[in-house]
């Protein structure tokens, strides 16, 4: 009896062990992929060894009952730039017939083309190959993946046009192709992707007008088209996105015309970026309806007065710089915000004494830019109330104060107070900054040792010492 029981246990163990070893195609496909990796300094693939269960390899998961590999997840460590994988993506991954997810995110140095054969995998639903160095054209057979739910190839170097076959990916919820070198126009066939909740084509070289096909997308919450070469007006069909759209980013294009009044109907809008275009005319009064907006960037356009009163309870970041505004004062709805961290109102026609500005909260501020206005007084009271300030700019004003009275928080990296009426010496605390400009003021005395060029200090009649002329004994 004991011998029979022992035999049974051995047989069960043998079958269990056999079941645990991954399928030969999966093993071969993964090991061929590993052979295409030329550098793995952090040992991400060190557990990938022949004749071991690939379902236990790092980054690999398998699915019952057939124990076939169903996903590969390889992630780079952003805080360890020398740990990234280098090499290419082997077409051998096409052997993994049960693969439903590929996640190569922030691995940074994976280069070469994206093998088109991967788009013949019948079960693929999630592809996130982000922040690498892949190049070449996007495979035309990309449209084969009709079960695909999410496709992200952002942060690579893909060039050429977006394949028209993308119109076949009708199950897509997320399409992210930003941060590449894609050219041409946006395929009209994208209108067929009616399940999209996120469309990101930003940071490419796309041209033409923004397609007028947005009535197709009842679930779209994020639209990112910034940093391209789109021209013309904002298409009318974008108005259909009003009920759910939370992020609309169209900045850094060649768009013109007036800002549409319908944008005031976007009650769910969190972020609106129309910066660095050619928009003209006034900002619609309907913007007062954007009660949930946290991030608004209208900078570097041709917009004119009056700017509407916003009915926000709190705004996180605001940039109205370099338009034709004459605000005179920093708006009350800005000053009362309890959560603001970035305020940029350069060349906005502000005429005030900075000592009189008393924002309700300064704790969260990390960027303030009030350059090119007509502001008098001193920023000392304001800046000495901040705890996490990273950058402050107020060049081209009439600020008059002693620079030595300014507290320099340890977080401060950038300071531009050029072309003002400052007095006093340049304190040693400036040595902790990354960028400094105090040129064209009334500063005096010997400079502390710094890494900054002479352009940071010129135009101060009695400043001396390197990098300026030597001080007279």
CA-to-CA distance for 1 and 4, rounded, in angstroms?
5
Written as six digits, the tokens of 370 are 């009030």
d(CA 438, CA 172): 52
- Measure the CA–CA gap between 166 and 187, rounded to whole angstroms: 8
Highest CATH level, class, for 313-473:
alpha beta
Which has the closest alpha carbon to 442: 393, 470, 391, 404? 404
pLDDT at residue 408 in the model: 87
Q: Which two tokens stand for residue 245?
A: 């759209």
- Evaluate the omega torsion of the peptide bond into residue 198 and state whether it is cis, within 30 degrees of 0: no
**Per-residue confidence (pLDDT) for residue 455, from 0 to 100:** 97
In this structure, the strands spanning 295-297 and 157-160 are: unpaired
> What pTM, to 2 d.p., does this model score?
0.92
- For residue 297, what are its two tokens? 């960037």
Task: Note the pLDDT of residue 236.
Answer: 97
The ranges of the chain with pLDDT < 50 are 1-19
pLDDT confidence of residue 15: 40
- With CA atoms as reference, report the closest residue to 142 among 37, 158, 34, 108: 158
pLDDT at 427: 95
> What is the number of other CB atoms lying within 10 angstroms of the CB of residue 358?
10
- Can the peptide bond before residue 467 be classed as cis, meaning omega within 30 degrees of 0? yes
Q: Which two tokens stand for residue 277?
A: 């275009």
Nearest to 403 by CA among 387, 420, 425: 425
Least Cα distance to 402 among 382, 375, 377 occurs for: 377
Query: Contacts for 193-200 with beta carbons within 8 Å, 24 or more apart?
Result: 193/166, 193/167, 193/169, 193/217, 194/170, 194/218, 195/170, 195/171, 195/219, 196/172, 196/220, 197/173, 197/221, 197/222, 198/173, 198/174, 198/222, 199/175, 199/223, 199/224, 200/154, 200/175, 200/176, 200/224
Q: Provide the pLDDT for residue 3.
A: 46
Pairing of strands 278-282, 342-344: unpaired
pLDDT digits (tens, 9 = 90+) for 341-385: 999 999 999 999 999 999 998 888 999 999 999 999 999 999 888
How many beta carbons lie within 10 A of that of residue 374, not counting itself? Answer: 12
HEC profile of the chain: CHHHHHHHHHHHHHHHHHHHCCCHHHHHHHHHHHHCEEECCCCCCCCCCCCCCHHHCCCEEEECCCCEEEEEEEECCCCCHHHCCEEECCHHHHHCCCCCEEEEECCCEEEECCCHHHHHCCCCCEEEEECCEEEEECCHHHHHCCCCCEEECCCCEEEECCCHHHHHCCCCCEEECCCCEEEECCCHHHHHCCCCCEEECCCCEEEEECCCCHHHCCCCCEEECCCCEEEECCCHHHHHHCCCCCEEECCCCEEEEECCHHHHHCCCCCEEECCCCEEEEECCHHHHHCCCCCEEECCCCEEECCCCCCCCCCCCEEECCCCECCCECCCHHHHCCCCCCEEECCCCCECCEHHHCCCCCCCCCCEEECCCCCCEECCHHHHCCCCCCCEEECCCCEECCEHHHCCCCCCCCEEECCCCCCECCCCHHHHHCCEEECCCCCCEEECCCCCCCHHHCCCCCEEECCCCCCCCC
How far is CA 181 from each of CA 188, 189, 204, 254, rounded to the nearest angstrom? 19, 20, 5, 17
């Amino acid at each position: 009896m004991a011998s029979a029981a022992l035999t049974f246990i051995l047989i069960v163990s043998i079958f269990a062990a056999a079941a645990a070893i991954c399928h030969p195609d999966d093993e071969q496909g993964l090991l061929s992929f590993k052979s295409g990796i030329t550098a793995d300094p952090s040992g991400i693939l060190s557990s990938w060894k022949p004749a071991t269960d690939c379902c236990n390899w790092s980054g690999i998961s398998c699915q019952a009952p057939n124990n076939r590999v169903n996903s590969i997840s390889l992630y780079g460590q952003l805080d360890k730039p020398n740990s990234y994988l280098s090499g290419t993506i082997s077409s051998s991954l096409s052997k993994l017939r049960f693969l439903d997810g590929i996640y190569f995110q922030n691995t940074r140095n994976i280069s070469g083309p994206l093998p088109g054969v991967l788009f013949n995998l019948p079960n693929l639903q999630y592809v996130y190959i982000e922040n690498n160095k892949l190049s070449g054209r996007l495979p035309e057979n990309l449209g084969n993946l009709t079960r695909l739910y999410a496709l992200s190839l952002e942060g690579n170097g893909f060039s050429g046009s977006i394949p028209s076959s993308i119109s076949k990916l009708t199950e897509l919820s997320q399409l992210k192709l930003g941060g590449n070198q894609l050219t041409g126009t946006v395929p009209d066939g994208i209108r067929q992707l009616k399940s999209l909740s996120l469309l990101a084509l930003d940071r490419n070289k796309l041209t033409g007008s923004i397609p007028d096909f947005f009535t197709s997308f009842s679930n779209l919450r994020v639209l990112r088209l910034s940093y391209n070469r789109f021209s013309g007006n904002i298409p009318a069909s974008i108005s259909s996105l009003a009920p759910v759209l939370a992020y609309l980013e169209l900045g850094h294009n060649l768009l013109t015309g007036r800002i549409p009044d319908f944008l005031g109907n976007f009650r769910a809008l969190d972020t609106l970026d129309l910066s660095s275009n050619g928009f003209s005319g006034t900002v619609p009064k309907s913007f007062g309806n954007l009660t949930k907006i946290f991030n608004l960037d209208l900078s570097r356009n041709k917009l004119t007065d009056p700017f509407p009163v916003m009915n926000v309870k709190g705004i996180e970041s605001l940039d109205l710089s370099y338009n034709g505004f004459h605000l005179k004062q920093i708006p009350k709805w800005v000053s009362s915000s309890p959560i603001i961290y970035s305020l940029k109102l350069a060349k906005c026609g502000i005429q005030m004494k900075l000592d009189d500005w008393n924002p309700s909260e300064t704790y969260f501020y990390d960027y303030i830019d009030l350059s090119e206005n007509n502001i008098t007084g001193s920023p000392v009271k304001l800046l000495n109330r901040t705890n996490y300030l990273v950058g402050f700019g107020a060049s081209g004003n009439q600020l008059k104060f002693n620079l030595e009275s300014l507290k320099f928080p340890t977080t401060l990296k950038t300071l531009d107070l050029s072309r003002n009426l400052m007095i006093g010496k340049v304190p040693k605390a400036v040595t902790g900054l990354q960028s400094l400009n105090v040129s064209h003021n009334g500063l005096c005395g010997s400079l502390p040792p710094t890494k900054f060029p002479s352009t940071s200090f010129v135009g101060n009649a009695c400043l001396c010492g390197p990098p300026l002329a030597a001080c007279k004994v």
